[in-house]
Amino acid sequence: MLLDTHCHLQFNGYDKNREEVIERCNQKRMILNIVGTQKDTSKKAVELAEKYDNYYATIGTHPIHLFASRVDEEESSFVSHEESFDEEYYTELAKSKKVIGVGETGLDLFHLPEGKSIKEVLEKQKEVFIAHINFAAKHNLPLVIHCRSAHDEMIKLLQSVIARSPNLIGTTSSRHGGISVPLQSTGQRDSDGSKDPRNDRKIHGVMHCFAGDWEQAKQYLDMGLYLGFTGVVTFPPKKTDPKPQNDLLEVLLKVPLDRILVETDVPYLAPQKYRGTFPSEPWMVEEVVKKIAEIRQKTVEEINQIVLENALNLFTGID
């Protein structure tokens, strides 16, 4: 059993070979969470999830789609849409039992649309992100959070949501998502593990494709979030600027094992072994698992088991 908690297998990049990719994933008995980035790709994620037993969907609007602009990634470029959060539309999609999360949503100050000030971009992104948080709480679904070049703003925003939204916090039961406030505010699990970890969670969700440092990681972990790791963890440190990668490896060494999720973010971010492959494929998540096993001195099987349990704890809609 292999798990990819964040992939975009519904993207157009797979229109020519999706069936073959699915066949390769099914041979490895994969569980996939197919993540939407706008209305159209959220709908396609749900449609794909409906077709396969072990496929699930997450629905929402990515921050780069709030303004129309050209987006250049390492492997590809595309034109983003100008969309907002259409609650009615997403409510309809959320009726599917295959919907297990809300996102990806969050903040992105890496791709700034031309002619817009940071203030304007950030205001819009915050407004839409909060709409997703409300939606997630209402539907008892965990959040899949995107954050790029905006950790300070993200941490501040999440802390203010926790502090100022008593109507949001405390909506959770131990079985479901939403946002919860812990009965005891230590944010720590009992060492015997007997306490349900969901009761400790202040925000039910994952920082997807986490690539920050340990100080940032600690803040998210204190808020109850999981950290999702992609093929980025397999990249060698850049000779010209090794710090970000070394910081990420430090996080991987220190993060509690019960807060780790593995993901690919395909078609992007192929692990080092396959770097440059576009579109990359969900089974490449094996490389992420291998890297974590190596750093934590565990076997691949042990890490696979741990990340599966973590995913089942967070995404309670997986059955």
Residues that bind Zn ion (CB under 5 A): 265
3-state secondary structure of 145: strand
DSSP one-letter string for 295-315: HHT--HHHHHHHHHHHHHHH-
Of 3 and 169, nearer to Zn ion (C-beta) is 3
* In the complex, minimum distance from the CB of residue 61 to Zn ion, in angstroms, rounded to a whole number: 12
Q: Which residue lies nearest Zn ion, judged by its C-beta?
A: 265
Give dist(CA 189, CA 166) in Å, integer.
23
* In the complex, minimum distance from the CB of residue 144 to Zn ion, in angstroms, rounded to a whole number: 8
Of 36 and 168, nearer to Zn ion (C-beta) is 36
* In the complex, minimum distance from the CB of residue 43 to Zn ion, in angstroms, rounded to a whole number: 16
Q: Are strands 226-229 and 205-207 parallel, antiparallel or unpaired?
A: parallel
* In the complex, minimum distance from the CB of residue 262 to Zn ion, in angstroms, rounded to a whole number: 14
Q: Angle at CA 99, nearest 5°, toward 18 and 166?
A: 145
Of 93 and 169, nearer to Zn ion (C-beta) is 93
* In the complex, minimum distance from the CB of residue 206 to Zn ion, in angstroms, rounded to a whole number: 11
A 10 A CB-CB count for 42 gives 29
Record the tokens describing residue 248, joined without a space: 């990420």
Record the tokens describing residue 33, joined without a space: 């969470």
Record the tokens describing residue 227, joined without a space: 């950290």
Of 198 and 226, nearer to Zn ion (C-beta) is 226
Q: Label residue 262 left, alpha or beta by phi (over 0 means left) and psi (-120 to 50 means alpha).
A: beta
Of 265 and 287, nearer to Zn ion (C-beta) is 265
